[in-house]
Structure 1
Amino acid sequence: MAKVRETVLQLDLKALAHNYHYLRAKLRPGTKFLCVVKAFAYGSDTQIIAQELEKLGADYFAVAYTNEGVALRDAGITKPILVLHPQEVSFDTIIERCLEPSIYAKHILDGFIKTAKKHGQKDYPAHLKFNTGLNRLGFQYEDITHIATVMKKATAIKALSVFSHLAASEDHSEREFTANQISRFHTITEELDKLLSYRPFRHLLNTSGIMNYPEAQYDMVRSGIALYGYGNETKFDKQLKPVANLKTIISQIHHLKPNETVGYNRGFSSEHPKVTATLPLGHADGIGRHYGNGKTFVSVHGKKAPIIGNVCMDMIMIDVTGIDCVEGDEVLIFGKELSAQEFAETGNTISYELLTGISQRVKRMVIS
């Protein structure tokens, strides 16, 4: 593989395929697979990732907001796209671009029915979201009768699915809570089916749900983070392959004398002679200030090099004392040999935040 010559986020499509097939193997033959590609496909590249997943056989896609769904359609994606958090201002666009909304509140239900009528729709697919314990979005159990009454009168839309979201499926100390969520979801769907006189398909499991609660996979599962190589638990991380590898180069090397300082506010002071390297990326690229001042390290020729001083907007400085390197050498920020989860933990955050925070100014490059 050619050495990088600038800051790039390499996207390994073979790793993506591996993760997809690993997750698929955990499902029953008839269970549909929804791939979550919100937030620029978890900070990678929406178009590249979604096109590859569609080739691999994804049944559904999910995004957070309508404009993300529009981007998928513009990229040629033909599979159904669920918009998880639609706003009323986007209802016209949802219908015009053949997207499918999550209906999570009464005003959203009423508003979308009105818009669908305006567009002359009949049985337009919608997905009813119920809150079973996450307390973020969703109808309550007490809303079932009202929803069924409204849906039976409405001819412009139809409930294609009913779904909910697990709150702590990766936390084994919360198994009782998760079991109660699964039970509540089952009760909701059974009662709703009776009132509607038809059965929308059901989906509940997220990535950790797929791993830990396969008995609750229902008709479809949803996975985001595992597709990109992270399973929320060490034993699953070992079975997955990181898709994104963030690499950069050494722009300049400095030889510090004792008591010299590095960076803004003189964030690092050398007690002894030090060799530092400046890298062309910073907090504007998604490597926040909380990773500076010795908390986090990168990899130079397989050796750990701590980030020193304060992270700048466009640059970070690392300690390469004792590492044989020169200007122009490649540096791994995170990826296959240095987990994004491990990197994120040093900044007291999670892989999700690190991955989705990589700036769009960082060049994306497919490597397989």
Structure 2
Amino acid sequence: MAANKTNLTRRAFIGGAAAFGAVSIAVPRVALAEPTSADVQAQADAARVKLDDMQKRLNQASDDYYTALEEHDTATAKMDEAQAKIDDNNVKIAELQESLGGRARGMYRDGQITFLDVLLGSSSFDDFLKNWDILQTLNESDANLVAQTKTLREDNEKQKAEYQAQADTAKQKMDEAEAIKNEAEGLVEQYQAEVDSLDAEVAELVEQERQAAAEAEAARQREEFEQQQESNTDNTSNETNNGNNDTGNDTTDDYTPPADNGGGSSSGGSTGGGGTPNAAALSVAAGFLGVPYVWGGDDPSGFDCSGLTSYCYRATGYEIGRTTYAQYASANYIMSLSEAQPGDVLYNGGHVGICSQAGGGEYIHAPAPGQVVCYSTWSQFYCALRW
């Protein structure tokens, strides 16, 4: 029944507009002809572009969501710091007030309390002279106690302002995260509805087109990345030679880390192989095969792409960041795909997976809404990350 409904929909879309009245029973039989392969291909192309755009938006939304949560947590931590300083200041102020109280009691015993009474209750010139006399009796220690109390009270006011500012930031970031989450959930539903509306023939072509496009883009990015690596190697070699030939003149280090050709900024990681692949992370990932893709998911009930990699690494003792870019930025080594080993994280600027075969030819990842954690072999990554 569903297949017939889909076929009728396609006939109405492709044949109906050309027939100018496909609803009439007098329409020639040829108007209901099955779509040609070109028609199906065109429909698949359009669907793939739409789905790819949705997937990119979902991936970006996931990164934005967790970035907002991290900023919220940072603001909350700063609130706690400000409150801790206020509490500490209050303890010190109480101690200083106790010391000043002791000084006042001493002044009372010395017969100076009458001057304090005048200081607190008068405003004439004579009162001023009396106040001045009292100030003269304060020793340097008394003055320091007063100054410290004043400074601590001023700092408390600053800390209260900082606390409020961070509280406002925390609320703003949480609101941002909620807005991103709500928008993404709507996008997931839209994505799933789009997938559900495709019949098997078009869906197969969509997936083929998606993989072909991703492989072509990954190949371009790999070539660009490897050229950058070669350029960095040449620069380093030239600088070494210049250093060996240095006659005492100052030299400038022009080396820059490789750019994130997938859309991020430069990383502090080293290029080239190094470190030890985290094969244990691959074993953890293999235990989640079949777990559904869940946007924003980072636990065994459901994962998105970076949620899976961060969880598997965290389970083996590594904190690599929750978002795709955070993982790229935190990597100790950024390598070409050919250097990838099982357990390394594979990266393409908007998606990540865990390498399961040397050279990155196979990997485990959380692909997209409606799919599950699985092995894949199509070439969509351009570099490998290692910690």
TM-score, with length taken from structure 1: 0.24
Q: State the structure with bigger RCO (CA 8 A, min sep 6), 1 or 2.
A: 1
Name the one with the larger helix percent: 2
